[in-house]
A and B are shown apart, each in its own frame.
Chain A
Amino acid sequence: MLVASALSALLALAVLGVLAGGEVWRHRIVYLGCAVASLILIAGGLKHLGQTPGTGPAIVLPIGLPWLNAHFRLDNLSALFMVLVNVGTTAASVFGIGYTSHLPEPRRVTPFFPLFLFGMNAVLISDDAFMFLVSWEFMSLASWALVMSDHKNAENRQAAFVYLMMATFGTFCLLTCFGLLAGAQGAYSFPAMRATALDSVSGFLVVLLALLGAGSKAGLVPLHAWLPLAHPAAPSHVSALMSGVMTKVALYGLIRILFDLHGHVAWGWGAALMVIGGVTAVMGVLYALLQDDLKKLLAYSTVENIGVVVIGLGLAIAFKDGGEKALAALALVAALYHIINHSIFKTLLFLSAGAVITATGQRSLNALGGLLKRMPWTGAAALVGALAISALPPLNGFVSEWLIFQALFKGPSLPHWAMKFGVPVVGAMLALAAALAASCFVRAYGIAFLGRPRSKAAAEAHQLPGSMRWSMAVLAALCIILGALPVTVTDAVSHVVQPLTGVSFAVSADLGWPWLSPVSSTRGSYSGTVLVMTGLSLFVISILLVHGFGTTKVRRADAWDCGHAEDIPQTQYTGESFAQPLRRVFCGSLFSARETVDMPPPGDNSPARFKLRVVDHIWVGLYLGIQRLVGYVADRVNRMQFLTVRRYLLMMFATLVFMLLVVAVRQQK
């Protein structure tokens, strides 16, 4: 009831958004309404998570296809996603209250925002394939409209076009996937799909299509190309939702199909998923390291984190098929915990990027600098987000990374040789991605928030309205809580995982609260709670020791810099120079990164030029390749427009004969 009323309220808010016109306060009311509706949805999800029978009652509405109706149901998995989705939407809505007055054209944003929220929530509660796809498209189109909101910029139009293409492709794959799941009888409701057994060929195709459909929405390499185009093009609170939350809805679709509707995915797919996840993680973070645009950097970092989650999902599939149910549950808990964490810190980081862009009007890292002093709130919240996404204890990102590593370290216990040799390689990729993520965020944070301002706009950045600051502060607090007190949440998550893996499993089983000891008490354990308390005491002891033995005097002076200090901010490291060592090590072959320096000859006063060339092989090879192919085929097919009537009749006849032959052959069997 709670959920239904909140969802209808979102639809009503969309109408209000249309009526809002040019008055800022009306837009603010719509965002306030969205925040309240999201809070109600969180309450609905939490209320359900506490219940013991995993599935709630089905609700059938007489809409949609006449012979199918619309089925809705809330089970533990959708309740968990409902909570995490709406934590993000609450923060983004509260941010929107203050942010809307800074938008160039708020009336192009406000009506679609509640619709986007509605679409994402409707995907989660759909209980039949038809409603699932309709809601999925609702979500895609609403977000497409939001990407187009600043349509005067040609880059945004192109981004929206690429996004629309990818969304169409994804939905097409999912449509076919559900068609196969429904079987010959056309059983489109989810309970009927669970009951249908799949033969090996359609089982294979279902996983492949789910991976293409949901994977393109989530941003798996090489289907990631639209994320860094579309996410930054939208207004920042929408970017936060697209990157932090909508990708999670895509992963929900993947988990729903692979673990629930399909049920028996072979271990080979698990291995494939782990490799795809590993490649996605490493490629995503390398792309992020090369970006100068703050929002593009964050979008690529989403690609990386999706890769990390998919490694966990692949591991869970392999364990489940190998009969190691407890380990499958561990891997799935780890993946779900990373999904929760990423939705929080990515939303936080995108909102702080939005705050930076609002305050300075600059998106390029090389135009920022020294913002921590001008915007202390945003700077502190972004620091928490950067520490969390770099998987550093005691914050939440580390906990999920730790759980994934613990599950991964048990991977070689699987009987397959491919797994014994492959798991360490995937482990190395995951470790590499985690370490590179830390470099990436030292770079992003250090250049944007620390140092001296690199432009006039950054030097004159101004503080922002309270609602924008509060939404970031709450998300930062959540990062700390989920990191310091992980056990409560992981226990709730293991409740969700139980019907999917068929085993009841608590991550804290052996040592109890507050220890995470997933396999056994001697296998390796972690406690964020104890670590925080000890760390804080050591921190205080070091302050006391230092101040007890020494002096507390401080003198402010000019920077020393080995005697080379100059008052020109351009002498600082830039984003490109920071990334140079990593670019040389990792990107030489992967991105054909080349640096050239043109020095003028002696006596010539013209400036020296440094040129950096980076090639995105996936974009050039795959996407532009497909574009060329489509153009070529279209040219060929174009000839068919100018044939004689005789030839058209001949073609029709040939087609008819061919179809009849197919039918005849099939009946022979």
Chain B
Amino acid sequence: MAMKFSPRELLAKHQREPIIEVSGLKACYGDTVVLDGVDLNIRRGETMVILGGSGSGKSTLLRHIEGLERPAGGSVRICGIDLAKATYQQLFALRRMMGVSFQSAAMFNSMTVGENVALPLLEHTDLAESTINLMTRMKLQQVGLSGVEDLYPMQLSGGMRKRASLARALAMDPEILLFDEPSAGLDPVIAAGLDELILRLKSAFRITIIVVTHALSSAFRIADRMCMLYEGKMLAVGTVDEIRSHPHPRIHQFINRIPSQPEASSHHYITGF
């Protein structure tokens, strides 16, 4: 297709809600079904938190929204475009307006932190080198990392890498920000700082933010709406208060941090024989 797609044009054309529609999404790894008929609509400008225990398919759902996996069934639509049927140009135009911060940070280890953050700007814009350098420093400052431009990712701590990857995700001023486990491996102060940053981004730029997490305190703080995945199924979607008072036993258990089995005491082992 010869036509050029600009992300902003796509967005302007698609004023209708919701910006992201996931319907009946199925995903399998080999024979294991990871997602089984997930429905989720995300409105423009809202912060959606995807909750769920380990192995509930949260990250897989996120990978499908990023268009990194092909669904085994159902569809993911962003701005009305079905990712599985999108042309190469459409898919890449959509990705240019999404910023992704991976769970493992996924910084390019062969480049410095500064080069990592500058990479999308260098590749997708015609900005002058000096402008790009300035923007790189700004983005790093935004996430509380100043003066690390010339270090390599391996020289940073896990938490710093995570924040650097957020800076990289923000480099192109994305319309949609996807965030996999922002606070995993961060100390509470830095995690709170990240929450602040997400709240600031939300109020200042009206960007759509999707956060996958199992950190409840931060989830309740930043979310407009939340949804809960359990064993590949969407249990509930709703506002923070709706989720908080949801009657479903699994959600109740998750929110109130109740262990699923009574803890085994040494007494059980001894009398068990």
Do A and B belong to a common assembly? no
User: CB within 8 Å of B: which residues of A?
Assistant: none
